[in-house]
Amino acid sequence: MNKTRAAVIAALLLFFAIIGDGAVANATPTEQYPVDPAAQAASQVYPGPPLSAQTRSLQRAAFVSVPSNYVYNVNLAPVARHDYCTSSPDSYFSADFRGPCARHDLCYDAADRAGTNYSACNSALRTDLITNCAYAYGGSGASYQTCVATADVYYAAVTVAHL
């Protein structure tokens, strides 16, 4: 890992460690906070249930979409959830990270309800981000590799913020 990349990762980890919060929010759609139309549209374009990691590895052109039941609501304070990728960009150029981040938010909600830790959610986030990198960049080349490096930063940040 080069020094610049290591410095960026360290800075992001510190940032997320500082803003990390373990509070729980209710994300049930309401009249005041309906399901995000963009999430519904994304689900219509890429319908179907989430793909398993094994299926994703076999399908180069898989895409992780925003679930149709995802509620985009930045006002669900104090939790940094239901806002796609919170303060991180929702994409890496052509790679759309909204679906992976939305699924990660929902996974955290489910883990909170079940009283379990977030490790499976964080691992799935990384896998989903890399899946969308492959969808956008074909699974090889410099753009794909930098996209995967970005996915690794997101994974490291959420892992440190929610140990």
Which pLDDT value is given to residue 153? 96
Mean pLDDT for 2-20 is: 54
Provide the domain limits for residue 16.
3-161
Residue 93: pLDDT band (50, 70, 90) is: very high
Residue 34: pLDDT band (50, 70, 90) is: low
Which pLDDT value is given to residue 69? 93
pLDDT digits (tens, 9 = 90+) for 97-142: 999 999 999 999 999 999 999 999 999 999 999 999 999 999 899 9
The Cβ-side half-sphere exposure at 130, using a 13 Å CA radius, reads 18
Which pLDDT value is given to residue 76? 77
Q: Please count the structural domains in the chain.
A: 1
pLDDT digits (tens, 9 = 90+) for 35-91: 666 555 544 444 445 555 555 455 555 899 999 999 998 887 557 788 999 889 999
Nearest to 101 by CA among 60, 66, 57, 63: 66
